[in-house]
């Protein structure tokens, strides 16, 4: 009976936390972490921000910025970039790590990076030719999808 009560309490707590997750809140660009604001000023100085929002999921807080040209940038809680998705243009060259840029230039000379995503395990890049490449944190290619 005691185990059943503990299990019930855990499930109720998890249910409440899950219900509270996925809280998206519109924010001003000035409410982004300093690192995110500097990233935008450095890499997208001429772009106009359509909206910015704070996203709270169950275990993670992130920020998302959408520009009027449909480019989207996601940031971690500390303001470091998580994902850059340039739907109609290419990712600024300074964002792409040199080793990845070199690999793409050597193996896909006619393609450019339109999306880059990084997390604790890897980097994923999407190219203009439709290929998706995954690199580990040492910039070794570990997967290719077409």
What are the structural domain ranges in the chain?
A: 24-88, 90-146
- Identify the sign of the CA torsion 97, 124, 43, 90: positive
Of 6 and 101, more confident: 101
Burial label, 22 (beta-carbon count in 10 A; 0-12, 13-18, 19+): exposed
In this model, does residue 25 exceed pLDDT 60?
yes
How far apart, in whole angstroms, are the C-alpha atoms of residue 102 and residue 113? 12
How far apart, in whole angstroms, are the C-alpha atoms of residue 14 and residue 8? 10
CA angle 80, 126, 83 (to 5 degrees): 15
Question: Smallest Cα–Cα separation from 113: which of 105, 50, 80?
Answer: 105
Token readout for 65 is: 């910025």
Fold of the domain built from segment(s) 90-146: Inhibitor of vertebrate lysozyme, Ivy (3.40.1420)
Q: What pTM did the predictor assign?
A: 0.82
| pLDDT tens digits, one per residue of 65-117 | 999 999 999 999 999 999 999 988 999 999 999 999 999 999 999 999 999 99
- Same fold for the domain at 24-88 and the one at 90-146? yes
CATH of 24-88, one of 3.30.565.10, 3.40.1190.20, 3.40.1420.30, 3.40.50.2000: 3.40.1420.30
| DSSP secondary structure letter of residue 30 | G
| pLDDT tens digits, one per residue of 116-132 | 999 999 999 999 999 99
Question: Smallest Cα–Cα separation from 124: which of 107, 145, 93, 94?
Answer: 145
């Amino acid at each position: 009976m005691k185990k059943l009560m503990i299990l019930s309490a855990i499930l109720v707590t998890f249910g409440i936390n899950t219900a509270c997750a996925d809280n998206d809140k519109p924010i001003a660009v000035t409410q982004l972490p300093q690192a995110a604001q500097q990233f935008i000023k450095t890499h997208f100085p001429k772009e106009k921000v359509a909206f910015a929002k704070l996203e709270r999921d169950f275990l993670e807080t992130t920020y998302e910025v959408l520009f009027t040209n449909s480019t989207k940038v996601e940031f971690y809680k500390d303001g470091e970039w998580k994902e850059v998705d340039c739907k109609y243009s290419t990712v600024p060259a300074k964002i792409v790590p040199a080793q990845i840029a070199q690999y793409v230039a050597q193996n896909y000379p006619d393609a450019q990076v339109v999306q880059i995503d990084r997390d604790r395990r890897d980097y994923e890049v999407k190219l203009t030719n439709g290929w998706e490449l995954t690199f580990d944190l040492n910039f070794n290619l570990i997967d290719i999808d077409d």
